Amino acid sequence: MKTISLKMDDEVYLHTNEILINGNTPRNRYINEALMYYNSRMYKRKHLEDILKKASKDCEKSSMKVLKEFEMIDNYDF
| pTM attached to this predicted model | 0.56
| CA–CA dist 33, 36 (Å, integer) | 5
* Averaged pLDDT, groups of 10, the chain, 78 residues long: 93 94 92 94 92 92 87 72
Nearest to 28, CA basis, from 59, 57, 6, 48: 6
Domain ranges of the chain: 10-75
